[in-house]
A and B are shown apart, each in its own frame.
Chain A
């Protein structure tokens, strides 16, 4: 009795099958390219650009005013506490850096855990 191992699939054959698969994928995707795509006219694109620029300008204005209002609110609170309630002012000055340090460290360690 003679034991015969069947020819092992070599790299060349593997590559050939890969190339066949790639070719079939390319064939399928090229069919998508033959699909007619409706392209709007130039005026549509122009008004889209104008609207988009207007929207981003409005968004920037809104965000900036929100930032200024919050900043004013915080600053006035600090100034009032400094003159009227110095104890509260000192407590805020101590709590703030502690909170920032705690928040930074905890978010950093969370990121490290996710990446592990």
Chain B
């Protein structure tokens, strides 16, 4: 096990601080991708670190520390979404990606339609797509973090990609031809 993690487990504040500082940009960027909201990403990163301090005794060192952080962050975000839904504060999927789009525009960066398509997906579909196709985690790992079966993760990723394809109008022509049958002389 990493000596920093060992010291953090023994209660060394400085070791904890160094671990967090090292992983902070990675964590915030991951949260930005799933929340599509830079402010919420920073807020959740702090919540994730707080949970990490409380649960450090559960970290067994079998995976990377960053992977462990991602699993805690994923749960924190899903919990927050559920809470917002319960309190009827859910603003709808339409607004999710607006903040990120605004950040892109303010930095004169070109906005990507695929991000918009991703932002329109429900949270429980967007998160596994990011984890699978951007970070390369396995269906089993994602399923364990989200407390669902790996088969469910697989179908959510598959349906999510289909929805992105539809949104980006990829393969629409051929699909249209497939559904219709044409008669020629």
Contact = CB atoms under 8 A, between A and B. Distances in A.
Interface of A: 1-9, 13-14, 16-18, 20-22, 24-35, 37, 39-43, 45-46, 48-50, 52-53, 56
Contacts, number: 133
A17 B112 CA distance: 17
A9 B175 contact: yes
Nearest to B14: A46
B16 A26 contact: no
Contact of A42 (B17, B162, B178, B180): B17
B29 A45 contact: no
Interface stretch (B61-69, B84-92, B128-136, B140-148): B128-136
A94 B51 CA distance: 42
8 contacts: A3-B183, A4-B182, A7-B177, A14-B171, A29-B118, A42-B17, A48-B20, A49-B20
Given A8-B178, A24-B114, A29 B20 contact: no
B112 A27 contact: yes
B110 to A, nearest CB: 8
A46 to B, nearest CB: 4
Nearest to B24: A39
Q: Is the interface of B mostly helix, strand, loop or mixed?
A: helix
Contacts of B182: 4, 6
Determine the interface band of chain B, counting residues with CB < 8 A from chain A: 35 or more
B78 interface: no
Q: Is the interface of A mostly helix, strand, loop or mixed?
A: helix
A18 B165 contact: yes
Contacts of A37: 24-25, 28-29
Contacts of A39: 21, 24-25
Contacts of B114: 21, 24-25, 27-28
Nearest to A43: B17
Contacts of A34: 109
